[in-house]
Copies of this chain bind each other. A is one copy, B any other.
């Protein structure tokens, strides 16, 4: 249930993810989880700031969690690498 209210931030323009968040809140979501890995982390923070400051000022940041995920390398035999993750929980 909570998983369906997730926005995974990647390489698309920031406004795509901003719109995804707004759509979820307008659809009645009380919480939206904005997630990202690696370099997209700074983009996830941008998304949250644009949502809060430009569109939905009543949305609060409930929690920010950071962590590490292991990524199995694409090339067979090479060691798995670590990638940082962020999960920002927004609450209305």
Give chain A's interface residues, CB within 8 Å of chain B: 38-42, 45-46, 48-49, 53, 61, 64-68, 82, 84-86, 88
Contact = CB atoms under 8 A, between A and B. Distances in A.
27 contacts: A38-B42, A39-B39, A39-B42, A40-B42, A41-B41, A41-B42, A41-B45, A42-B42, A42-B84, A45-B66, A45-B84, A45-B85, A45-B86, A46-B84, A48-B66, A49-B66, A49-B67, A49-B68, A49-B82, A49-B84, A53-B68, A53-B82, A61-B66, A64-B64, A64-B65, A64-B66, A66-B88
Nearest to A53: B68
Contacts of A82: 49, 53
